[in-house]
Amino acid sequence: MEKRVAVMAIVIDDTSSVEALNAVLHDYSDFIIGRMGLPYRERGISIVSVALDAPQDTISALAGKLGNLGGVSVKTAYSSVS
């Protein structure tokens, strides 16, 4: 299956979801190029960006699992590189 390069932006409004989010990301660690997390203490949120190289279905499945966590919002941007 053809792999795609993508960046996933994750905003965490509910810090009780962080442990579950990290567990899901760990499950997909083979596809993660890198990740960066930023706590925004003034607003009480965290912002995480995840760079991926994975099949389209895998990226969609990861976004779906993360988006189903309470207090977590996810958006994905795809590269045109194939």
Mean pLDDT on 28-39: 97
pLDDT in tens, 41-65: 999 999 999 999 999 999 999 999 9
**For residue 82, what pLDDT band results from cuts at 50, 70 and 90?**
low
Binning pLDDT at 50, 70 and 90, where does residue 30 land?
very high
DSSP for 6-62, written as a single string: EEEEEEES-GGGHHHHHHHHHHTGGGEEEEEEEEETTTTEEEEEEEEEEEHHHHHHH
Q: What is the pLDDT of residue 1?
A: 78
Question: Can you list the domains of the chain with their CATH numbers?
Answer: 3-78 (3.30.70.1150)
